[in-house]
Amino acid sequence: MSLEARKIRLIMLLRRSGISDTQVLSAIEKIPREAFVPQSFHDRAYENETLPIGFGQTLSQPQVVALMTQSLSINKSHKVLEIGTGSGYQAAILSCVARRVYTIERYKPLLQQAEERFAALRIHNIVTKYGDGSLGWPEQVPFDRIILTAAAGDMPEKLYQQLAVGGIMVLPIGPERGEQKILRVIRTEQGPTYEEGPTVFFVPLISGALPDQRPPNAVGRATQKKEI
């Protein structure tokens, strides 16, 4: 089966799973997922599964990427902050539906690879930063939307404060080895409101940027605990 046929099959699966936002589906159709994984995994690029991207990290399951993107309710006027660039795939999807994407990665080689992919795909509305994602990007506040690709143990107050009033933050929340849920947080004048989503499994949100050296082997960017 060709990559194009596999992509069509994936889009159909996402539709059946409840992904109805046509902009999100169009972004997943447009962005070549195979460009974000090693050559040896190209034939699995459109399977609904996590894939390794090197450095002990993984590319999140397409269904999780689509669900979290849809939950952000993004439009073309929005300025989005992503915490955890990883391969760059989530940022590339966001770039199709938002005005501008700011993305932070704590491991420099991953960020450099992602930047190369953005350049090769001629994506020009993504701004990258090497640093501690838990601190957000104070120089660029406020953000209309914020997305985390690592699980917070509780509500990340510093990031919430960088949301515009009316803004939305989507993140996995829960303990590293316990049950985690996708959480949708809306900032209102009266304070945050919460909507809980499905169960997932992500690596924890960690403070600090890693030095420019080979990372620990026992980490992965994001995996899913069960089908959603």
CATH at residue 201: 3.40.50.150
pLDDT tens string 172-223: 999 877 789 999 999 999 999 999 998 887 877 877 655 554 443 333 344 3
For residue 4, give both structure tokens: 């194009």
Tell me which of 60, 71, 87, 95 is the catalytic residue.
60
In a domain, 153, yes or no: yes
Q: Mean of the per-residue pLDDT values for the chain?
A: 89
* Structural domains in the chain (count): 1
In a domain, 30, yes or no: no
Count Cα neighbours of 111 within 13 Å in the Cβ-side half-sphere: 23
Residue 61 pLDDT > 50, yes or no?
A: yes
Domain span at residue 94? 64-223
Residue 2 annotated to the active site: no
In 38-93, the DSSP E strands lie at: 51-54, 57-59, 79-83
In a domain, 11, yes or no: no
In a domain, 155, yes or no: yes
For residue 131, give both structure tokens: 């640093």
In a domain, 142, yes or no: yes
Give the C-alpha separation, 215 to 138, whole Å. 27
In a domain, 58, yes or no: no
Mean pLDDT of 58-67: 93
Cα angle 189, 194, 197 (rounded to 5 degrees) comes to 155
In a domain, 200, yes or no: yes
Cα dist. 119→89, 116, 122, 165 in Å?
A: 13, 5, 5, 33
Which pLDDT band, with edges at 50, 70 and 90, does 122 fall under?
very high
